[in-house]
Structure 1
């Protein structure tokens, strides 16, 4: 049995600038919806197609030297790719910020929690 390699840590870039990220979560809502109809079986029989939505949730550390203006980001390109050279790059295009928060705790570094929306996803 051959040893498998899996994707581990990633590198995140915002408009070509590398960002120190601790967490990245990507949620894709397909836009599909259940269509309920009145029939003798008493169950739904299909779905309708809708518009897909891509939401990014980032947690980044706050550098002492200065931080990006996360709240002002509009029309940005966010790219994530594996730390090793194997694997594909995924870019999220036309990103804009929805929310920005700060987290401080005794045991960890100060962090920002950012929620963004992307209009397109491209695997390169």
Structure 2
């Protein structure tokens, strides 16, 4: 864990016009990751107990999601091919228009350009999720 106070965070969100439970259930299903989370999973998701193994733009990575819950918490740890693990806080919140999914992107060991690219990738993934779920 880094103690670098210069690490920046950006919160990327997307309003989705459907109930939070529907967004959570779809996003929490590992089989759906390649459909919307291209920044994480580009193909079939393999399961090894509670750990997911996926081919990502970063190479073959493992992913562990928080246990299913009623709070909309979709936090997940991604372990990169280098062995480094990144925690990704994600929340599905109630919103007057249905729900809002909020993803925190952190600038850990990334240049400003890489941080901008990662933030844009997350925004694209959340937009893809919206397009899949809205009527």
Larger radius of gyration: 1
Looking at secondary structure, tell me which structure has more helix per residue. Answer: 2
- Higher RCO (CA 8 Å, separation ≥ 6 residues): 2
Q: Output the TM-score relative to the length of structure 1.
A: 0.30
Bigger share in strand? 1
